[in-house]
Amino acid sequence: MKSEKLADRAFVHLIALTALTSAIAYFAHAVAGLGVLIIAAAPVGLMKVRLVLLEFLHLRGRASPLVPSVVAWAGLVLTMACLKLLALSVTAAG
């Protein structure tokens, strides 16, 4: 597939993931607290980061050993951010 079509498809996926994140934020925050919102939105955030990083590094669709390490790095950073937010929400509530 041509790179322009891949970039267009990546853009459409990014817009869809952003809309999904907004919907999760609206419904999860209305139904439950900040902790549920963080846990619900984190996987979508990881998919967005993975999409953008792999597109930026021109690794999307390639069998490169760098892909798992990029995804693992993004997951680690996102996990640390989520744990910090959850800790802050627990200490603020208690």
70, 86 contact by CB (below 8 A): no
Q: Read off the pLDDT of each residue in 48-59 and give the average, rounded to a whole number.
A: 82
Distance CA 50, CA 29 (A): 25
Question: How confident is residue 2, by pLDDT bands cut at 50, 70 and 90?
Answer: low
Lowest mean pLDDT among 5-9, 63-67, 79-83: 5-9
CA triple 4-63-79, angle to 5 deg: 90
Check whether 64 has a pLDDT greater than 60. yes
Distance separating alpha carbons of residues 37 and 72, to the nearest angstrom:
22
As given in the structure block, the two tokens for residue 90 are 């627990």
**What H or E segment, with its residue span, contains residue 50?**
helix 34-56
| Mean pLDDT computed over every residue of the chain | 80
| Per-residue model confidence (pLDDT) at position 76 | 92
DSSP 8-class letter at 32 = S
pLDDT value of residue 90:
80
Note whether 42 and 28 are within 8 A (CB): no
Whether 53 has a pLDDT exceeding 80, the answer reads yes
> Does the model's pTM come out above 0.75?
no
